[in-house]
Amino acid sequence: MKKRLLVSGLTGFVGRHLKVWLDESDTAWELIHPSCVIDLLRPETLAAWCSERPDAVIHLAGQTFVPAAFKDPAHTLQVNLLGTLNLLQALKRAGFKGTFLFVSSGDVYGQVAEADLPITESLAPKPRNPYAVSKVAAELLCLQWGYAEGWRMLIARPFNHIGPGQAPSFVVPGMAQQIVRADGAQRITLEVGDIDVSRDFLDVRDVISAYFALLEHGRSGEIYNLCSGVERTVRELIIQMARLAGV
């Protein structure tokens, strides 16, 4: 008998890939599909979904775009913190006693000094934007609920993950879209920001695989960085994509 899995944010970038991963994998999990549109800020939409008695929850849903967080920090905090609280409360009312995996972000570490590399989970968060602040706050909320309710609570801090279907407002798909539009031109001009900034980029499918590994093997109350350990500059990725596209 398969274990029942509730995933918030199924219509988002990661959620869509997670659904495909489940459909194509020989896994012990079956997905609980919501019977109506789920809104984290409308608790009444969560009740029936959470009453489906999940064995585990992966909480993906949230406001993830940093520029939008600067533009409207109150909304970001409402969705990412209050929305998480609404989900936790709905699960409690439904009698949930399983595993809750909260998906945070490697962005919570902020600008990390060279001496603190590689980043470990023991490094204190120093968030530099409202999005990261909302994630740190929601982490603490989830850990508190794990202690108080006796739930198996896991925190994942994935670093930048990319893949097919990601919105072009994010840096790598945005560059990829511009390169594709060049259609083999020998010289192109790209609209870019700081392309010499380095990031740890991951394939979204590897991140999803890590989430399921945490469901099986993660220790309650622990925080887990999800990363490759290899930094790449945006410039490197642009050059690689341009070569692949023949421009």
pTM of the full structure: 0.92
Residue 51: C-alpha distances to residues 63, 141, 155, 168 (Å):
25, 22, 23, 36
| pLDDT value of position 241 | 85
Which residues of the chain fall short of a pLDDT of 70?
A: 184-188, 191-192
Q: Judge contact between 99 and 156, C-beta under 8 A.
A: no
d(CA 170, CA 72): 18
Beta bridge partners of 198: 233
| pLDDT value of position 161 | 92
Domains and CATH numbers, the chain: 3-163+201-230 (3.40.50.720)
Give the length of the chain.
247
Span 123-182, pLDDT tens digits? 999 999 999 999 999 999 999 999 999 999 999 999 999 999 888 888 888 888 888 877
Which pairing describes strands 56-59 and 99-103: parallel, antiparallel, or unpaired?
A: parallel
Q: What are phi and psi of 243, to 5 degrees?
A: -65, -45
| pLDDT value of position 11 | 94
d(CA 96, CA 107): 30
| pLDDT value of position 125 | 98
